[in-house]
Amino acid sequence: MIETPRHEEEHVSEIRSAVRAICARYSEDYWKDLDATHGYPTEFVAELTESGFLGCLIPEEYGGAGLGLPEACAILEEVSRAGGHPGAAHAQMYVMGSVLRHGTAEQKQKYLPKVASGELRLQSFGVTEPTTGTDTTSLKTTARREGDTYVVNGQKVWISRVQHSDLMVLLARTKPIEQRSRKTDGLSAFIVDLRGAEERGLTVKPIDAMINHHSCELFFDDFEIPAENLLGTEHEGFRVVMDGMNAERILIAAECVGDGRYFVDKAVAYANDRVVFGRPIGQNQGVSFPIAKAYAKVEAASLMVDRAAALFAAGKPCGAEANMAKMLAAEASWEAGDTCLQTHGGFGISREYHIERKLRETRLYQIAPISTNLILSYVSEHVLGMPRSF
C-alpha cells in the first residue's frame, strides 16, 4: 500500500489553499460569462501560470516546480470545486510530458522553460480523427518526409485550445498502413509550432459544442514541419502519445472529483437553507439520502484517484488504476450533479445558479478523453483476463 508521508500531505494542503485563494478572485459569474460568449479565461490561466501551478510537473532544471502528479491533481480538483473550468488549462500539464519523456535534450531546453514561464502555451494533442475516433492505430493523416521537412496532409477533430496554443503535439502516419509490422507501427509524433500555422497550410474551424472547451477541426494541406521537430523515434509515435495517457486520465479524474464535491457542497447548502412546508427540505429523507449517496460515491472515487496518482508518482504500473479512477470519478460527478439539480428543483436549470453549466462540463468526461466502454474493455481484457472485445 502506497501512503502519502505526513510532510507531503501538509505540502498538498498548502497547495490547495493557494489555489483556492486564486480561484476566489474569479467568481462563478466569471465562468458563466465566458461560457455564454465562448470566451477563454486568459486572466485566470495567466495567474495560474505566474503562480507556477501550470508548470508544476516540469522539472526545476527547466524552470518548473518539479512537483508530482498528486500535487497536480490537487490543483485541478480545487479549480473544479471552486466552480471553475480547468479544461482551459489542464492539457498544459500533461501534453508537456510527451516532450519531457521523449524529447531530445535540445527540444526540452528549447521548449520546456518557455512553457513553464508561460511564454509558450503547449495545450493541444492532435490525435483524434473524424473517421477513426478512438481507433488511433488506424488514423489517416499522413506526414511524408521530404528532405529536412515532413509534409502533413489530413484532418483532425475535437482538438481543443488550438487557437489559444503556441505548440501542439501531433500524431500522423509516416508509413503506409499496409506496410506496418504491427498495429501501432508507422505513426510518428511531432512538435508543431502553431504560430502563423494558418498561413502555412493549416485551417482551423471551431466546433459549436455544448460546453466551452474551444474544440476545433483541423485541416492540413501540405503543411510543413521541420524534421528536427520529430518527437521520439520515427514510426514509434504511438508510444509517445500513449505514454502520457495515464497522467491525463488521472488528472481528468481529479477534476471530476472536484466537480462532484462542488455539486455536493451546493446541494447540502441549498437543502439546509430552502424551507418548504415549514422546514428545510434537507430534513426529508427523499432529499438528504440521494445527497449522502452521491457524497459517498465521490469520496470513494477520490480514493481511487489518490491510489492511481501515488502509483504514477512512484513510477509503478498504473494503467488499470488510471482507467478505473477516470471512470468512477466521471460517473460519480455526474450522479452528484444530477442530484444537485434535483435538489434545487426548477432553480437547478437556471443559469443564475451555475449548476447546469457545471453539469454540461462534467458530462463530457464519460466520453472523453476515453469513453467508459473502452475503459470497461481494458479492465475486462487486461485486468480480468477475458477475451479482447474488439
Q: pTM, whole model, 2 decimals?
A: 0.95
pLDDT band at 36 (very low <50, low <70, confident <90, very high): very high
Q: Rounded CA gap, 288 and 59, in Å?
A: 45
pLDDT at 7: 58
The predicted-structure confidence for 103-152, as pLDDT tens digits, reads as follows: 999 999 999 999 999 999 998 899 999 999 889 999 999 999 999 999 99
Are the C-beta atoms of residues 241 and 127 closer than 8 Å to each other?
yes
| 5, 228, 261 from 10: Cα distances, Å | 9, 43, 21
Residues labelled as active-site residues: 248
| Residue intervals in the chain for CATH 1.10.540.10 | 6-117
SS3 call for 235: coil
Q: What CATH topology corresponds to 122-236? A: Butyryl-CoA Dehydrogenase, subunit A; domain 2 (2.40.110)
The predicted-structure confidence for 343-361, as pLDDT tens digits, reads as follows: 999 999 999 999 999 999 9
pLDDT at 123: 84
Summarize the confidence of residues 191-199 as an average pLDDT: 96
* 304 has a pLDDT exceeding 80: yes
CATH code reported for the domain at 6-117: 1.10.540.10
More confident residue, 91 or 274: 274
Summarize the confidence of residues 200-228 as an average pLDDT: 96
Q: Which residue has the cell 501515488?
A: 310
| 154, 213, 277, 301, 357 from 361: Cα distances, Å | 29, 9, 34, 18, 6
Are the C-beta atoms of residues 250 and 305 closer than 8 Å to each other?
yes
- What percentage of the chain carries pLDDT values higher than 70? 98
Strands (E), the chain: 122-126, 142-146, 149-160, 167-173, 187-193, 202-206, 215-226, 230-231, 275-276, 279-280
pLDDT band at 243 (very low <50, low <70, confident <90, very high): confident
pLDDT band at 90 (very low <50, low <70, confident <90, very high): confident
242-383 homologous superfamily: Butyryl-CoA Dehydrogenase, subunit A, domain 3 (1.20.140.10)
